[in-house]
Amino acid sequence: MNMLEIRHLSKRFGDKVVLDDLNLVVEEENIFGFIGRNGAGKTTTMKIILGLLEADSGEVYVCGEKVQYGSAKTNRLIGYLPDVPEFYGYMNAREYLRLCGELSGMDKEEIKSRSKELLEMVGLLKEKGKIKGYSRGMKQRLGIAQALMKHPKLLICDEPTSALDPLGRKDILSILSKVQDETSVIFSTHILSDVEKICRNVAILEKGNIVMQGNVNDIRLRHTSGDICIVPERLSDLDAIANLTGGAVVDDKVIVPPANSGSSAMSAVLSKLADSGIDLLKIEQMEPDLDQLFMEVIGK
């Protein structure tokens, strides 16, 4: 079943078109990366999915159920972590989760056991202090726990790592990796290295539309330049390798473009080097990282 289906969604604010006939399907899966630069329309899309914002046209389905603007019915299926989660600072984490559980109609025992389980998962079980003393990373972790209280089928996280330092980001990524066993996650961000670490599939939102979508590894393979990078054990062998393969010396490696190595690039290069007696540290086909791809697809 599709966790999320967006059909022909359009939204403008005044004259500004933010979403322009947007179509997107997120299947039941692990972690889906929703990528777009600042102002691309990620938060707008999420607010429409949550029924908090009215679309001009188009439809959104969560687990096959149609989202109605102003109705919270489909939100029982969704856990939401906003980009800047708000809390009652005078409470501690346990009190806050208890309040969230009570407001959503969970019974006492369930609240107790689920809170304990989630606080343990996000590393806050032993934290007794008030939320007002929490770091941003701790608040994001508590936000994830709160969003998961009612075992949602889909967790939507709006830029959960953007304001965090590298350690805080690492914590959140590792928590989301654990969450995926139980819940599909949509993870919006403009930090592509985070996406590469945990997402299997991605969609890139640009100018109100999805300009690229698919499996991260397939996308990388599709866009590989075919260049082969060769790193010799001895730098003195660089020129000899370049001569044998038709490549060029770049810093401490040789880059062989595919045109010089025929259709089966790697085996052609390997056979040219086979009898040379040159020892190699590394030989690999180069793949672009998501940052490069992102710049390519948004035309920068």
Residue of the chain from 3, 4, 18, 97 that contacts ligand ATP (CB under 6 A): 18
Binding of residue 38 to ligand ATP (CB under 6 A) = yes
Residue choice 9, 24, 42, 115 for contact with ligand ATP (CB under 6 A): 42
Q: Does 36 bind ligand ATP (CB under 6 A)?
A: yes
* Stretch near ligand ATP under the rule CB under 6 A, chosen from 39-47, 65-73, 194-202, 281-289: 39-47
Name the residue nearer to ligand ATP (CB basis): 146 or 189: 189
- The Cα 272–Cα 266 span in angstroms is 10
**Beta 280-285 vs 16-27: how paired, if at all?**
unpaired
- What are the structure tokens assigned to 5, written together? 């289906």
13 lies in the site for ligand ATP, by CB under 6 A: yes
Half-sphere exposure of 264 (CA within 13 A, CB side): 5
DSSP bridge pairs for 81:
157
Q: Quick one: which segment of 41-49, 105-113, 132-140, 225-233 binds ligand ATP (CB under 6 A)?
A: 41-49
Exposure string of 65-87, with b = 16+ CB inside 10 Å and e = fewer, is: eebeeeeeebbebbbbbbbebeb
Q: Which residues pair with 107 in a beta bridge?
A: none
Least Å distance between CB 12 and ligand ATP? Answer: 9
Rounded least distance, CB 83 to ligand ATP, Å: 6
Distance between CA atoms of residues 296 and 300, nearest Å: 6
Type of residue found at 139: K
Beta-bridge partners for 154? 78, 184
Binding ligand ATP by CB under 6 A: which of 2, 23, 30, 43?
43
Nearest residue to 155 (alpha-carbon basis) of 34, 39, 57? 34
Give CA angle at 240 (236, 243), nearest 5°.
145
Q: Please name every residue paired with 13 in a beta bridge, in sequence order, or none if there are none.
A: 16
Residues 143-162 that bind ligand ATP (CB under 6 A): 159
To 5 degrees, how large is the angle CA 188–CA 10–CA 37?
30
Judged by CB under 6 A, the residue of 39, 89, 129, 133 near ligand ATP is 39
Residues 6+ apart with CB under 8 A from 267: none
C-alpha pair distances (Å), 265 with each of 106, 113, 235: 60, 57, 23
Does residue 44 belong to the site contacting ligand ATP (CB under 6 A)? yes
Q: Which is nearer to ligand ATP, 39 or 262 (CB)?
A: 39
Least spacing, CB of residue 45 vs ligand ATP, in Å = 7
Stretch that binds ligand ATP, among 35-43, 103-111, 179-187, 290-298 (CB under 6 A): 35-43
**Smallest gap, in angstroms, from Cβ of residue 176 to ligand ATP?**
18
Structure-token pair, residue 174: 């590792």
Q: Which of residues 185-244 bind ligand ATP (CB under 6 A)?
A: 190
Taking the least distance from each CB to ligand ATP, the nearer of 170 and 190 is 190
How many residues touch ligand ATP (CB under 6 A)?
12
Minimum gap (Å) between residue 92 Cβ and ligand ATP: 29
Which residues contact ligand ATP by CB under 6 A? Answer: 13, 18, 36, 38-44, 159, 190
